[in-house]
Amino acid sequence: MMKLASSSILGFAALVFFCLLPAVVPSWVAADFGVYFVYAIFAVSLAFLWGHAGLLSLGHAVYFGIGAYAMSVVTLGMTPGLPDVQSTWIGLLAAVVLSGCTAALVGTFFFGGRRPLKGAFLGIVTLAMAVVIERLAINSPFLGGMNGLMSVPPFVLGLNGDGLEIIDTTVIYYLMLAFLLAVIVLMLHVETSRFGKSLAAVCENELRASTLGHDAARLKIRAFTLSGALAGLAGALFVVQFGFASPSLIGFALSADVLIWVALGGRNHIISAALGAIAVRFLENRLSGAIGAAWPLFLGAFFILSVILFPKGVFGEAIAWIDTFREGRRVRSRPKPPAT
């Protein structure tokens, strides 16, 4: 019987909690959580890249934004040359493919060749890229410029924009939760696959890993692509709930936000990162009413504290605590060796 990781235990507990939640909260709260789940997917994409593959992206919203814009363009019927296409499904596909391809190109640029970008330099260049692409989006009339694209239709089940519109908040809630669950299950599988293990080896010690035959560049590019595609999916799912895509989804601010969610939640497990995103957005929603402009100050201060005092993140520490607890029980329950 396979032993369950502590992170999965936390994940299961959270899943049960979230399945039951709509029964006890008003529907507008459930609607908020629909968006939080999408942010959680975004957080998972960064946690995989950063925590598992060791690649710090300070401008990750680029791929989220590309997904959001792609979905909007398709479902608004704005696809160049194909004005009749309005399908949600094609929108999703376009979002994932476009963001994934962009990530693949960018990844090749970053990690190809004999001296790949790494560490802090990589972080700074991704940040610069995010600033540039945000600027491009603001100045693109096709993408609606500063205001972006509005009145993006919701999730429509039919094949091409016809059929059932999903606008009931409870249905959206469970739909997004399902997507989040699927993403987490997929990524857990990826992390334990041969690809995932090779990636972790490269992250740990690139020189050693490449002498053992792992193609570090290819692994990193693949990881970057997967992460970008996931972020794009999140962007697409975001836009069907929010109804508009703007440059703020593609630039510095959101990139900074997701970094904070993942760091506060716990960058080492995708589950802790996902919970981090949900927790931070939830708290922000709850507390900004009361403390208003002090929220970012509080968040920033708490973020600094977490970097210094609990680098594993809030949920990461919880998982570590569960680990120690289980270890303690296992040790105590072992039969004592005979006294010699």
Question: Which residues bind to other proteins, rule: CB under 8 A?
Answer: 56, 58, 109-110, 115, 117-121, 123-125, 127-129, 131-132, 135-136, 139, 252, 256, 259-260, 263, 293-294, 296-297, 299-301, 303-304, 307-308, 311
For residues 178 and 294, which CB has a smaller minimum distance to other proteins in the complex?
A: 294
3-state SS class at 337 = coil
d(CA 210, CA 216): 6
For residues 73 and 117, which CB has a smaller minimum distance to other proteins in the complex?
A: 117
Smallest separation, CB 263 to other proteins (Å): 6
Smallest separation, CB 338 to other proteins (Å): 28
Which of 11, 82, 35 has its CA nearest to residue 257? 35
Contact 308, 74 (CB under 8 A): no
Smallest separation, CB 247 to other proteins (Å): 13
Question: Could you give the dihedral angle defined by the CA atoms of residues 293, 297, 299 and 303, in that order, rounded to the nearest 10 degrees?
Answer: 170
Distances (CA, A) of 156 to 30, 86, 126: 19, 9, 34
Smallest separation, CB 270 to other proteins (Å): 19
Contact 303, 263 (CB under 8 A): yes
Smallest separation, CB 297 to other proteins (Å): 4
d(CA 280, CA 262): 10
Smallest separation, CB 228 to other proteins (Å): 17
For residues 8 and 285, which CB has a smaller minimum distance to other proteins in the complex?
A: 285
For residues 164 and 291, which CB has a smaller minimum distance to other proteins in the complex?
A: 291
Taken in order 123, 128, 134, 136, is the CA torsion positive or negative?
negative
For residues 156 and 264, which CB has a smaller minimum distance to other proteins in the complex?
A: 264
d(CA 60, CA 106): 12
For residues 20 and 291, which CB has a smaller minimum distance to other proteins in the complex?
A: 291
